[in-house]
Copies of this chain bind each other. A is one copy, B any other.
């Protein structure tokens, strides 16, 4: 899917932004960049520096004189837009758009163009009207103009998230909170018994006046989903505490 998504930049003025765009693309696994009538050099010290190792995408970028030529083979073209203009157009969020991409990209011949405009003036109405739909990144209404590379970053991040959801790749999923086995119920109960005994020994707990001490401690440790290894540590601490305290209680006795 990701290889069928083309990023199209129209009339870009800053080489640093093109470098930032290819870094974002390579970070998210996209490779296809088209530049329409760039207003700056593409391969410069700044674009290479900002690409930060993704400069092969700068060298592979194709340059076109017009948007039509850049998207001629595309089956879907979506233009990034701050707001719908005079003429209302189908408007989607990056997430909604990305969620449709797995289906849009099913065919081998599918090509999706995500079209971004100039740093200073965005896409013209004529350019927007050549797109199937417009995508708007939600922003603070008082400060809505995103940096070009930042806008591409958000869009390609959503593409990767949708691709990962489709793959159900293991890396797309949350890693479990821990990789180790949780303590069993029985181990936890033995721990709570040992804990209560120790708290009595150190004089912190009086079973005749329990307040809600043990209930509160239970809630804490149950909530934490204590692992077996952690349980060993906690039990070890209790044993060391008992030993330190009972040595004192049995002062003069053995050990």
Contact = CB atoms under 8 A, between A and B. Distances in A.
A7 to B, nearest CB: 14
A203 B53 contact: no
A137 interface: yes
Nearest to A199: B237
Contacts of A85: none
A157 B175 contact: no
B54 A178 contact: no
A203 B244 contact: yes
- Oligomeric state, in copies: 2
Contacts of A225: 223
A144 B75 CA distance: 30
A248 to B, nearest CB: 3
Contact of A217 (B139, B178, B233): B233
Interface in A112-152: 137-141, 143-147, 149-150
Interface residues of A, number: 74
Interface stretch (A25-33, A60-68, A102-110, A184-192): A25-33
Contacts of A27: 139-140, 143-146, 150
Contacts of A52: 145, 147
A27 to B, nearest CB: 5
A152 B176 CA distance: 24
A238 to B, nearest CB: 9
A147 B227 CA distance: 36
Contacts of A4: none
Q: Which 3 A-B pairs have the closest CB atoms?
A: A248-B248, A224-B224, A204-B240
11 contacts: A20-B150, A26-B143, A53-B143, A92-B174, A147-B149, A153-B153, A202-B241, A202-B244, A216-B229, A217-B230, A220-B227
Given A27-B144, A203-B243, 6 more contacts: A24-B150, A92-B174, A138-B171, A157-B157, A204-B241, A241-B245
